[in-house]
A = this chain, B = another copy of it.
Amino acid sequence: MTQRAVTAEEVARLAGVSQSAVSRTYTPGASVAAKTREKVLAAARQLGYRPNAMARTLITNRSRIIGVVMAYLDNMLYPDVLEKLAAGLQERGYQMLLFTGFKDRHSDPVFEQIMQYRVDGLLLASTTLSSDLSDECTAAGVPVVMFNRTTEHPLCCSVTSDNHSGGRQIAEFLFAGGHRRFAYIAGAAISSTNRDREAGFRQGLRRHGISEIDYGEGNLDTADTRTAARTLFASEDPPDAVFAGSDHMALAVMEIARHEFGLRVPDDVSIVGYDDVGAADWPSFSLTSYTLPLAPMVDAAVELMMEQIESSSVLSHHRVVPGRLAVRGSARLPGGPVHDRDGTLIWAPARKG
């Protein structure tokens, strides 16, 4: 601020009331006479007064700011997450302090900064970030919600999709499609999300007696994924079905398959992703993918956050939101309906009409 802003004191003077009256006018539950309130508002408008949120924070011990940590945004999913999250928080009167772009740098100084701003809560949406961060938060009494990842740590909340089930459903679907040689392209090796998707995929295949699959490290990175795909397709016995742990990677694999190896998708190789980002539905890709239920996930995250803030306590709830397989053209279709091991229907051929 270049010039000192208008204070409640000045407004009070102009309105001919006490400074407390001004404060009360801007405090939702406070008792102010309608007449007083009007005088205050008139004076405030005239002077261009705005309550100072910082000063309020100092005394209420609530900043109404949520720290959001997203190491990098190139997962095509995150812009969407950010938008929905911002909307949800704003609706409840909260602001968003964003920490991102520290791919290379260390995250510790970042964390220090966050804490100095006395955020009311922290949302961690980086699959790769060390969980020390969340420990330090709970130690400081700041509620944490992990988004699209989880942890074994006892005291923190998380919201994820049903990664394990999703991976398994994809395995069932691909197996039913007649494939026999599978590959998995892994995301960040240390992330629970990647671990669960892979574990589900392997479990689904094992049910059909397949325990050996190809493996590539995509690392959520375009270049790494391309390298992994090249190795895969150049092998003597290349896979005829590839499941990539994220759409981002799946699309990179598809590009390599088509443009560097001249493979037809899905005739020569089926490719399936996870997340169902916008581009998955573009005609050029028509990527079969497992839909990450973004809206309900964000809702759940905001809810968990509010619950903790309002109760002034750090909870430990883990919410899993179910997604569903979005079948498109990048994977061969099975001849008939596909069921999960518990009997639920994963996919069925469209009825003829």
Contacts and interface: CB of A to CB of B under 8 A. Distances in A.
Number of copies of this chain that the complex holds: 2
A120 B1 contact: yes
Contact of A98 (B2, B98, B115): B98
Interface string A58-75: 100111010010001110
Nearest to A87: B101
Among A2, A73, A97, max chain B CB count under 10 A is at A2
A82 interface: yes
A17 to B, nearest CB: 21
Contacts of A141: 1-3, 5
Nearest to A117: B53
Contacts of A116: 50-53
Nearest to A84: B101
A74 B63 contact: no
Among A4, A57, A84, max chain B CB count under 10 A is at A57
Given A54-B63, A95-B97, A101-B84, A259 B279 contact: no
B97 A96 contact: yes
A99 B83 CA distance: 9
Given A1-B142, A143-B2, A73 B63 contact: no
27 contacts: A1-B61, A1-B120, A1-B141, A2-B141, A2-B143, A2-B312, A2-B313, A3-B141, A5-B141, A50-B112, A50-B140, A51-B116, A72-B83, A73-B80, A73-B82, A74-B79, A74-B278, A78-B79, A82-B101, A86-B99, A86-B102, A87-B102, A95-B97, A96-B98, A97-B98, A255-B284, A284-B284
